Amino acid sequence: MSYNMKRRSFITKTGVAGAGLIGVAGAWTSWDLIQPLPTSGFGGKVRTVPESAVPDKGVLEVPAARAYLGKDPDGNIVAYSEKCTHLGCRVPFCDSSSRFECPCHGSVFNQSGDYIKGPAPRGMDQYPVELGEDGLLYIDTGSRMDGPAPGTFVLDEPATGPACEAEGH
Ligand code: FES
């Protein structure tokens, strides 16, 4: 076999191998693109913090999930939607009263999201929370659950201090 024949054969084989590699890389990339992302923004599962970062009293705001993480009286971690069940205003948590107080029309919810007063039709809505393999909590913001009906209490506790919002909304 001549030198030119060997060279041509080598180039052909290298070209086929290269094309094969490009094909595999392309297929890999395409497969990667169509896979669902393990995390996403609001509307999907939002990666948050380790369980140890959730306070025993009070709540931790998670802006990316538009939610708060807190604990129920049994120590279970719960995610509360920050959207008021009345007309959807963002409901801040008041540290002095340990209650969620809506600034729009005066609805108030206790630390467990139970309805206390105001025009809201129910307690604060919740999202499922799961522990990921990475040790972080994930809030599934695509699966909102209606809050408890008025008169249903997970936590039966008076306000711990003065309200943040003025009365009489
Ligand atoms: S939106 Fe919260 S009380 Fe109306």
Which residues span the domain enclosing 108?
45-140
pLDDT (0 to 100) of residue 2: 53
| Residue 3 included in any domain | no
| Residue 24 included in any domain | no
Residues facing 93 on adjacent strands: 100
Residue 106 alpha carbon, nearest atom of ligand 1: 3
In the structure, which protein residues have their CB atom closer than 6 angstroms to any atom of ligand 1?
84, 86-89, 102, 104-107, 118-120
- Tell the residue nearest (CA) to atom 1 of ligand 1: 87
Query: Tens digit of pLDDT for each residue in 16-49?
Result: 555 554 554 555 445 444 444 455 789 999 999 9
| Residue 123 included in any domain | yes
| Residue 150 included in any domain | no
Pairwise CA distance, residues 65 & 30, whole Å: 29
pLDDT (0 to 100) of residue 17: 53
**CATH number of the domain to which 49 belongs:** 2.102.10.10
Taken in order 52, 53, 58, 64, the sign of the CA dihedral is negative
Pairwise CA distance, residues 112 & 97, whole Å: 13
| Residue 162 included in any domain | no
| Residue 120 included in any domain | yes
- Tell the residue nearest (CA) to atom 4 of ligand 1: 105
Query: Tens digit of pLDDT for each residue in 54-95?
Result: 999 999 999 999 999 999 999 999 999 999 999 999 999 999
| Residue 34 included in any domain | no
